[in-house]
Structure 1
Amino acid sequence: MRRRVIQLVFNGFLIGSLCLGFSYGQQRYIDRNGVVVFEASEKLFEPIKAKNESVTAVFDASNNALACLVLIRGFQLDNPLMQEHFNESYMESEQYPKAYFKGILLDFTLENVGRTKQNVMVRGTLNIRGVTKEMETELLIQKVNGIMALHGSFMVRPKDFGIKIPKLVENKIAKTVWVTLNFKLSPADEK
């Protein structure tokens, strides 16, 4: 219970921080329960897959800005030992408690989005473990009953973000990690 309260307060503070760069008075969309999944499995070895269902995403329709905040400890792995190694050795989540993305949806107009799914490119920066890298990926977007759904996936390389994999297990962990995201953003004034 205490952890949940701390997480909610922390999320509120971070959402406010993320929104500082956004225009006030314009339509913003938010999802505080977004889902990010990563897959770092190698064939013939135990699956390495984690899911975080408390990701915060904010979209500002006035400038097409998208910001996402992921609390690293929110990722849940099936194996408790893997969970411990993920937080303590690889992600060092005490020192680097969050990852975030800040970007812009390219050639995008919210008014043109409806029930039909459409592809849109997003370009921005991804920060993991204090290392920021530029990235661009394609998202699938759809708007139904005022809810804006975003779905996408991209690849990251652990070494690009200073994540060191010990020699003993380097063949058991993928060199490239597949990340999938799903957000259902509601108008901020409804939250």
Structure 2
Amino acid sequence: MKIKLLTLIFFLSTSLMAQERFITKSGIISFEASVPSFEEIKGKNTNVSCVLNTRSGEIAVLALVRGFKFKIALMEEHFNENYIESTVFPKTTFKGKIENFFYSRITRTEQNYTLNGQLELHGKTKDISVIAKIKRTDEGIEITSNFIVSTDDFDIEIPSVVSKNISKNVKVSLEFLLK
């Protein structure tokens, strides 16, 4: 009887602990630095890791810079070698907290939350605050967001030869389905 009780307690405690953290390794971050009348400049990374602590609202995101893919291979090469310098700065991270986050209040209807934290990109760290839409799904928790990042904030130099073809204000979008 004691063994059955201990086994039950073990399984209940591990299942409760499992719900404290939701994780994905297949999150998506896309960005666009296009300007009107010039070639589209878009990158997409579909192997982004994200962890959400449902008790504290803390969230952490990790994206390998070489994971961003482009329609044109030459664009990808320039992105990695000339702009982001992925051999020197191989990853980008976000560590922060979701304001007023209570897991019990997450419903199937999207709700706006503010994410405050530090974005590290190209060797520079900047405090940011963005709005994210969060909802519960059959598979877990879905988090989406769209925001702007300035290349100047992260010392990403755009050569003067192409400066009119690339926006300094980069549109970033993210999609995470945490399980």
TM-score by length of 1: 0.83
- Alpha-carbon distance in 2 for matches of 1:184, 1:42: 30
Q: Which runs of 5+ in 2 are unaligned?
A: 1-16
Return the alpha-carbon distance in structure 2 between the equivalents of residues 83 and 26 of structure 1: 38
Matched, 1:60 2:60: no
Larger radius of gyration between Structure 1 and Structure 2? 2
Distance 1:145 1:160 in 2: 38
- Aligned-partner Cα distance in 2 for 1:149–1:25: 17
Runs of 4+ with deviation above 6 angstroms: none
Q: Secondary structure at the match of 1:107?
A: coil
Asked if 2 retains the 8 angstrom alpha-carbon contact of 1:26 and 1:62, the reply is no
Unmatched tracts of structure 1, length 5 or more: 1-23, 187-191
Match of 2:127 among 134, 138, 141: 134
From 167, 170, 173, give the equivalent of 1:174: 167
The match for 1:13 is: none
For residues 142 and 25 of structure 1, the distance between their equivalents in structure 2, rounded to whole angstroms, comes to 19
The count of corresponding residues between Structure 1 and Structure 2 is: 163
Aligned pairs (5 A) from 1:145-160? 145-160=138-153
The offset of 1:145, in angstroms, is: 2.2
The alignment-based identity, stated in percent, is 39
Partner residue of 2:136 out of 139, 143, 167: 143
Describe the superposition over 1:61-114 as per-residue Cα deviations: whole angstroms up to 9, x where unpaired.
Answer: 121100000100000011111111000010000010000000100011110111
Q: 1:26: how far off?
A: 6.7
